Amino acid sequence: MELNANAFPQAATIALQDVQLQTALARGTGNAYQARLRAMSEVTDADALRRQARAAKLRALQNLPELLERFEVNIAQRGATVLWAEDADACNRLVIDIARRHSVERVVKSKSMATEEIGLNHALESAGLSVVETDLGEYIVQLDGDTPSHIVMPIVHKTREQVRDLFAEKLGMTPSDDPEVLTAFARQKLREAFLSAEMGITGANFLIAETGTVVIVTNEGNGRMCSSLPPVHVVIAGIEKVIESVADFATLVQLLTRSATGQRLSSYVHLMSGPAAPDDPDGPSHVYVILLDNGRSRIRETDYAEALACIRCGACLNACPVYQNVGGHAYGWVYSGPIGAVITPLLNGVKNAAPLPYASSLCGACQAACPVMINIPDLLLRLRADLVEAGESSPALSAGIAAWARAMSSPRLYELGGAAARLATRALTAANGQVQRIPVPLLGNWTTNRDFPPFAAKSFRQLWRERQRGS
């Protein structure tokens, strides 16, 4: 997916005017947010579980090289081949090579953010392969030539009516608004793809080093179909997916599913450790696991390493007032919402995603929702500091902050500024007592969609002096 994060302000403005998008977002994020709250409330000590999960992920990041090697040794002993990809191009080349080696023409895929990140579908199609996304949301996105807008709910931006029209147009289906009918129709189409594909590609939610196990968590069972029906299975996983032990997996999976979809456990939690054994009734003959770096090792060496603890549950997106209003596409890349505003600049360079660290009110709802307690507001602030250091902050903002700092450090200037602001807002106050519009560039943006409350008629200092005088 082409990076377009610097267009965030324009894209967000358009998104705010899109009534259909606003309806879909309110429904999708609202339901997911409430479902997570309900699921977490069932846990006796949710914060203790979150601390345990955080410790597991941070420990894994600390010992990443050793754990990756242990994972490789253990899964290789069971017949899988582990390959290492330094970047997106290397990873895509490896997949194409595997496809050629096994004379693959048709590929089925389950949902994977890592493959979105590296533009795998485009690379495979350019190499002449046919690729079918099998997660229902991703299938719809693919049919529509669209891109996913949420880590967990790829079509949260679409309404049911849009899906109805799409299926009628692209698949010739008799239009229906019934989700069950739409799903059954898609399932039939996908079943044909599963049965004819020579290669299945999946991501991984976790890689367990202790046992050499790949874990795939889905609600539709398509991950299991992709990894067991075609004779060749390729797993593409970011290196940060490795965890130490089955015990850590037991902790993390409880939080992943509760945080992502509000379920105690997803419908399918698939654990696999290599190709089918001779006495297995089914399963792939060949399993490849590609460990993707693509900038992760570099991030691990910085103060932003904590961002790699993300387990891609999407809870911070659903909790974020910015995401709830602008949706995922406005962020201009694969990862959206609060964690996207951190990861996109880290993976692509802060100058190439300069508006994203500012796409937050720093309210802290993301950190409060995060099952591994990533301090996203702090990471965003640090990215803002990096932007200032890189000379990327707006001159108007820098001048405004410099003037503010000067005024706040001088009681005289502070008082004068307050008096000027009171005078100005009095002149601009409408009949309802609110300041309708501040006619100043930059500050005026604040009042484009909201009223600005007028300053109090008298400052605290004035009131205090009057009180002292007894007047």
- Footprint (CB under 6 A) of ligand SF4, residues 244-263: 259
Please provide residue 288's backbone torsions phi and psi, each rounded to the nearest 5 degrees: -120, 135
In the block, residue with structure tokens 């350019």: 126
In the complex with ligand SF4, the residue whose CB is nearer, 123 or 310, is 310
> Which tokens hold the place of 410?
């001088």
Residue 364 CB, nearest approach to ligand SF4 (Å): 12
- Taken in order 16, 20, 26, 28, the sign of the CA dihedral is negative
Stretch that binds ligand SF4, among 123-131, 133-141, 306-314, 410-418 (CB under 6 A): 306-314
Q: How far apart are CA 118 and CA 140, in angstroms?
A: 20
Rule CB under 6 A: is residue 310 a binding residue for ligand SF4? Answer: yes
- Footprint (CB under 6 A) of ligand SF4, residues 138-177: 151
> Which tokens hold the place of 376?
């996203």
Residue 380 CB, nearest approach to ligand SF4 (Å): 12
Q: How many residues are present in the chain?
A: 471
Residue 289 CB, nearest approach to ligand SF4 (Å): 22
Residue 228 CB, nearest approach to ligand SF4 (Å): 28
In the complex with ligand SF4, the residue whose CB is nearer, 72 or 240, is 240
In the complex with ligand SF4, the residue whose CB is nearer, 212 or 295, is 295
In the complex with ligand SF4, the residue whose CB is nearer, 83 or 308, is 308
Residue 330 CB, nearest approach to ligand SF4 (Å): 17
Residue 339 CB, nearest approach to ligand SF4 (Å): 4
In the complex with ligand SF4, the residue whose CB is nearer, 124 or 310, is 310
Residue 315 CB, nearest approach to ligand SF4 (Å): 4
> What are the residue ranges of helices labelled H in 301-410?
315-319, 321-326, 337-348, 365-369, 376-389, 395-408
Q: How far apart are CA 328 and CA 310, in angstroms?
A: 17
Q: Are 214 and 273 in contact (CB under 8 A)?
A: yes
In the complex with ligand SF4, the residue whose CB is nearer, 310 or 387, is 310
Q: How far apart are CA 184 and CA 169, in angstroms?
A: 17
- Footprint (CB under 6 A) of ligand SF4, residues 349-378: 369-372, 374
Q: How far apart are CA 118 and CA 393, in angstroms?
A: 29
Per-residue x/- mask for ligand SF4, residues 311 to 350, rule CB under 6 A?
A: xxxxxx----------------------x-----------
Q: Are 25 and 327 in contact (CB under 8 A)?
A: yes
Rule CB under 6 A: is residue 241 a binding residue for ligand SF4? Answer: no
> Which tokens hold the place of 174?
């008799």
Rule CB under 6 A: is residue 28 a binding residue for ligand SF4? Answer: no
Q: Are 310 and 373 in contact (CB under 8 A)?
A: no
Q: Are 117 and 111 in contact (CB under 8 A)?
A: no
Give the three-class secondary structure for 54. Answer: helix
Q: Are 249 and 206 in contact (CB under 8 A)?
A: yes
Residue numbers of the site for ligand SF4 (CB under 6 A)?
151, 259, 310-316, 339, 369-372, 374
